[in-house]
């Protein structure tokens, strides 16, 4: 068996096209243009690249982009003041503060200061609680993207055994909750799980989000399972030349692809879905703020 390659890049492009259609509809029918504010603190190179990509795609789908760049030595009070200003700005429907923040800044206070209605990252405790309660909420972008890929591949997830490897508040925990809400039978595995390979072998769905390069081996995978690899790890690649690196996921792709029914590659799998879902969440927030129905294509 050779697994079907789940093309997250193509799916994300389609989702962005749907977002653009909804943005155009909101403008034509209601005079609304969704606005996304992105706050970048400091000069971390990876964060700068990611933020530029977000800004570019925001404009491409017809939304307004508001960029705020602060120095690494900004005070906690100044950062909180900016977030509160954005909360009060009616032109801003979504607020994203790029994490991680420089040392000395309280990330959790920033998360809790962002208006839950504009929390397009889905990290605010109110949105977390709504997700757990099964109430419509702004959902973290990476788990939302994973669910879209799973439902596109499998349709109804009811009764399927799912294993989520990793219990972070950004991916693992919300991913497990989304799967639970979809009536899958969910196990959250982690570094202290006993006989992890045996646990994974029972899964119809495997979501690997542990941050360890190629940890999940091919013989861990149940034949025909669907594997979603959230990991993005940079490792040495001497075959490409001295000092060269390459990206790999948390799953040993070549091995797993010989057993699984479908699998996401790294890169080109889950990664592109994250920004697409950020844009979708901004439209969702805009609709909710104006008492309009949220388009089904933007949610799970």
- Active centre residues (catalytic): 54, 98, 121
Q: Exposed (0-12), middle (13-18) or buried (19+): which is 47, by Cβ within 10 Å?
A: middle
Instruction: Choose among 216, 227, 223, 203: nearest CA to 149.
Output: 227
Q: Which tokens belong to 151?
A: 């439902």
Element (H, E) at 26: helix 8-30
Find out whether 118 and 281 touch, Cβ atoms under 8 Å. no
Element (H, E) at 253: helix 253-257
Give the list of residues 6+ apart from residue 278 with CB closer than 8 angstroms, or none. Answer: 36, 54, 94, 96, 120, 121, 141
Evaluate the omega torsion of the peptide bond into residue 100 and state whether it is cis, within 30 degrees of 0.
yes
Find out whether 248 and 231 touch, Cβ atoms under 8 Å. yes
181-218 b/e with 16+ CB inside 10 Å = b? bbebbbbbbeeebeebeebbbebbbbbbbbeebbbbee
* Bridge pairing between strands 226-229 and 233-236: unpaired
The residues that bridge with 75 in the sheet, in sequence order, are none
What is the distance between the alpha carbons of residues 4 and 32, in angstroms, rounded to a whole number?
40
């Amino acid at each position: 068996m050779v697994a079907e390659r789940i093309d997250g890049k193509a799916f994300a492009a389609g989702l962005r096209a749907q977002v653009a259609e909804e943005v155009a509809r909101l403008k034509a029918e209601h005079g609304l243009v969704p606005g996304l504010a992105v706050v970048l603190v400091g000069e971390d190179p990876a964060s700068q690249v990611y933020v530029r990509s977000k800004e570019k795609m925001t404009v491409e789908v017809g939304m307004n982009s508001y960029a705020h760049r602060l120095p690494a030595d900004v005070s906690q009070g100044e950062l909180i003041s900016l977030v509160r200003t954005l909360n009060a700005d009616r032109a801003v429907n979504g607020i994203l503060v790029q994490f991680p923040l420089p040392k000395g800044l309280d990330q959790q206070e920033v998360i809790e200061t962002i208006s839950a209605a504009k929390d397009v990252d889905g990290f605010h405790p109110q949105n977390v609680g709504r997700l757990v309660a099964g109430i419509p909420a702004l959902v973290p972008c990476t788990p939302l993207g994973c669910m879209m890929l799973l439902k596109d591949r499998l349709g109804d997830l009811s009764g399927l055994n799912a294993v989520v490897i990793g219990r972070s508040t950004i991916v693992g925990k919300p991913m497990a909750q989304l799967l639970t809400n979809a009536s899958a039978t969910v196990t959250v595995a982690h570094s202290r799980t006993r006989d992890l390979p045996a646990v994974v072998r029972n899964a119809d769905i495997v979501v690997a989000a542990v941050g360890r390069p190629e940890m999940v081996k091919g013989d861990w995978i149940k034949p025909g399972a669907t594997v979603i690899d959230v990991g993005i790890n940079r490792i040495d690649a001497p075959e490409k030349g001295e000092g060269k690196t390459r990206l790999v996921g948390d799953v040993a792709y070549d091995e797993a692809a010989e057993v699984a029914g479908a699998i996401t590659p790294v890169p080109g799998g889950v990664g592109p879905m994250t920004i697409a879902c950020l844009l979708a969440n901004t439209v969702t927030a805009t609709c909710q703020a104006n008492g309009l129905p949220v388009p089904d294509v933007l949610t799970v």
